[in-house]
Structure 1
Amino acid sequence: MKIHLNTDNHISASEGLSERADRVVGGALERFADRLTRVEAHISDVNSHKTGDGVDKRCVLEARVAGHQPVAVTEDAETVEQALSGAAQKLKRALDSMFGKLDRRPEKAPVLPEAAMPPED
């Protein structure tokens, strides 16, 4: 599973941030690694033009699921680390729910060609 980090021009895409994203997101989604092709992390400063405290850091995580539509979650927080961690936990719950439903779905009976069907009595 590859984790690709994207930031806006107000957040520095440092090596440290990339490593934290790999550690936090990779750790949260470790059990789904074989079912995911990659995870896109988009981190931005929502109110970059304003000064002061507030919930203005946003992390959007989009998991690319093999054979299915992508799953995306958003988390707003005061710091980049909180937004990243919150989004990772939301994505973990979303994937757990999705894969749980898929795994409980009854298997469709295979359709046999007429030549392979047993004769009727």
Structure 2
Amino acid sequence: MHIEINAERSIQCDAALSLRVDELVRSRLAPFADRVIRVDAGLSDWCADIETDNVGKRCVLQAQLAGHEPVIADDTGETIEQATNNASKAMLEQLQHLASRKG
């Protein structure tokens, strides 16, 4: 499973953050590692341009499965790690649902 991480300018996506995001997604989607070809992770700060005390990080995941249309899941959190964890959980649920329909 190849994981591509893209972050908007407001996110400081250094090697350490990239590794944490990669590990979170890879471990959560491990049950489907043999079927998921690629995962694109888009990281953003949806409150970066708003003057507010709210902190809102967002992770959008798009998984490409062999022989299927891409599956998309997204979620938010107070940190990129939390948003990624939430989005990968949502992705896992979608993949499980897709597998149950095929099975």
TM-score (norm 1): 0.80
Shift of residue 55 of structure 1? 4.5
SS at match of 2:82: helix
Percentage of pairs with the same residue:
38
How much has 1:51 moved relative to structure 2?
4.0
Corresponding residue for residue 41 of structure 1: 41
How does the TM-score come out when normalised to structure 2? 0.94
1:9 aligns with 2:38: no
Q: Which runs of 5+ in 2 are unaligned?
A: none
Q: Greater RCO between the two (CA within 8 Å, min separation 6)?
A: 2
Does 2:67 match 1:71?
no
Per-residue deviation, 1:50: 2.6
| Bigger fraction of residues in strand | 2
Q: Deviations over 1:4-46 (max 9, x none)?
A: 1000000012101111111110000011011011100000011
Unaligned ranges ≥5, structure 1: 104-121
Counterpart AA for 1:53: D
- Between the two proteins, the alignment pairs up a number of residues equal to 103
